[in-house]
Amino acid sequence: MQFIDLKRQYAVLKDGIDKGIAAVLTHGRFIMGPEVEALEHALASVAGVRHVIACSSGTDALLMPLMAWGVGPGDAVFVPAFTFFASAEVIALTGAIPVFVDICPDTFNMDPASLEAAIQKTLAEGRLTPRAVMPVDLFGLPAHYDAIDPIARRYKLAVLEDAAQGFGGRYRGRVAGSLGDVAATSFFPAKPLGCYGDGGAIFTDDDDTAQVLRSIRNHGEGRDRYENIRLGINGRLDSIQAAVLLEKLSVFGIEIEMRNDIALRYNERLAGLIKTPRFHEGMVSTWAQYSVLAEDESERERIIAALTGADIPSAVYYRIPMHLQKVFAHLGYGIGDFPVSEDCSRRILSLPMHPYLTETEIDRITGVIADAVGKGK
Ligand SMILES: *Cc1c(COP(=O)(O)O)cnc(C)c1O
C-alpha cells in the first residue's frame, strides 16, 4: 500500500497529462511558457482572487510576499509552533524573527488567544516590530480566520495564509487561497494539488503587491529581465509542471469530495478506538493529511509498528515543534512553552490518504489499528 498513491491518479489522467507534456516538448518554451499563464488564470478563478503568481515552490511562495512587504531584521512574524518547517524558515530567511504561537487541539491550527498573547508580549518587550501573521491551514483545514483577522487588524499586521496544504478547502463560503491579504500554496507532488516536481503559487487581490511579486519572481526585474530594480529570486515555474497542474485541476474538486468521503469512513471505522479529526461546521478540509491522536507516545509507536508489520505506511507530522528545533535554539524557547503543540507532536499520526484509497484498504488499516489499541474483534 502507498501512503499517497500518485500512480492511481496518473492512470485516471494519463491521456491529458501525456498530451500536455508533449505539447511543451513541441513548443519548447520550457519555463514560464503559455501553460503557466493559463494555470494562473485557472487558479485565480478557483480561488476567486484577482492575481495568481505561479512560482517555483511553496517555500518560495511564502518567502516572496514577505520580501514584497519588506519584512526583515527587527521585524516579528507570528507563526504556529506546529507546522512544516518552511513556514518558520522563510521568516528567518528574510532576517525577521519567527514568533511562535500555540495551536488549538481540535483543529491543529493557530490558537487566536495564543496569537494575541504573543503579539502583546512582543510589544511589551519592545525589541521587535510586529509585521505579519502567518496562519497555516494545516492538514488541509482552514485556520480560524474570523478570529485571527480582527486581531491582525487591531495590531496592523498583514495576513499571509500558508495554504500549502489547504488550497481548495473552504471557509464560510470562501476558498482557501483567498483567506489572507496574500496566500501561498505548494504543488509538491504529495500535496492535494501536486505536480511532478516542485511548484507553488501566490494569491492576492492587491494589484501593487502582485506587480512586485512578479518582479521578485524573476530576479527583481523592471521593464525587462535585464533591468533589475530590487532583489528577487529565481522563483519561476516550469511549463511542464503547469501542464500537469492544468490537467489535475480538472478533477481537483471531485478529488476533494473523494477525500472527504474517505475521511468520513475513517472516522466511522475508528470511532471509539482513537481520537479522530473533526469535521467543522462551515469548513471543508482538503484532507492533505488524515491525522489521529493516540493516547500517548507509546501507544502511537505501538500503532506504527503494527501498521508497518502489516505493510501499511504511516507518517508523523510533525515530531519536533518549531520552537524546539535546533536551528531556532537561539530564540530561547523551551519545553513547556507551547503545551498543545508539544502534546500533538508526541501523539499525532497520519494514515494513508489520497482520493483513490479503497474502502477495503481503509477497513484493513482501521482493523490493524483496532488490534494495536487492544480493541480488535
Ligand atoms: C509543503 C509545505 C510548505 C512548502 O512547500 P514546498 O513546495 O515543499 O516548498 C510550506 N508550508 C506547509 C504547511 C507545507 O505543508
Q: What's the confidence (pLDDT) of residue 231?
A: 97
Q: What does the pLDDT look like over 46-81, one tens digit per residue?
A: 999 999 999 999 999 999 999 999 999 999 999 999
Please answer whether residues 348 and 317 qualify as being in contact, where contact means their C-beta atoms are separated by less than 8 angstroms.
yes
Q: How many angstroms separate the Cα of 309 from the Cα of each of 302, 303, 305, 313?
A: 11, 10, 6, 9
Q: Which residue has the cell 501536486?
A: 194
CA 156 to chain centre: 24
Q: What's the confidence (pLDDT) of residue 40?
A: 98
Q: Could you tell me the pLDDT band of residue 377, with boundaries at 50, 70 and 90? A: low
Q: Which residue has the cell 499517497?
A: 4
CA distance 172 to 329: 38
Q: Could you tell me the pLDDT band of residue 375, with boundaries at 50, 70 and 90? A: confident
- Its pTM stands at 0.98
Mean pLDDT, residues 101-108 taken together: 97
Closest CA to ligand 1's atom 5: 58
Alpha-carbon Rg for the chain, nearest whole angstrom, is 21
Task: Pick from 4, 84, 191 the residue to mutate for probing ligand 1's pocket: most ligand atoms within 8 Å of its CB.
Answer: 84
Task: Pick from 89, 165, 238 the residue to mutate for probing ligand 1's pocket: most ligand atoms within 8 Å of its CB.
Answer: 165
Task: Pick from 91, 188, 195, 341 the residue to mutate for probing ligand 1's pocket: most ligand atoms within 8 Å of its CB.
Answer: 188
CA distance 161 to 103: 15
Stronger pLDDT, 142 or 374, i.e. the higher one:
142
CA of 373 relative to ligand 1 center, distance in Å: 32
Q: Tell me the average pLDDT of the chain.
A: 97
Q: Which residues have any ligand 1 atom within 6 Å of their CB?
A: 57-59, 83-84, 86-87, 136, 162, 164-165, 186, 188, 198, 200
Please answer whether residues 148 and 135 qualify as being in contact, where contact means their C-beta atoms are separated by less than 8 angstroms.
yes
CA of 126 relative to ligand 1 center, distance in Å: 31
Q: What does the pLDDT look like over 215-267, one tens digit per residue?
A: 999 999 999 989 999 999 999 999 999 999 999 999 999 999 999 999 999 99
Atom of ligand 1 nearest to the CA of 199: 7
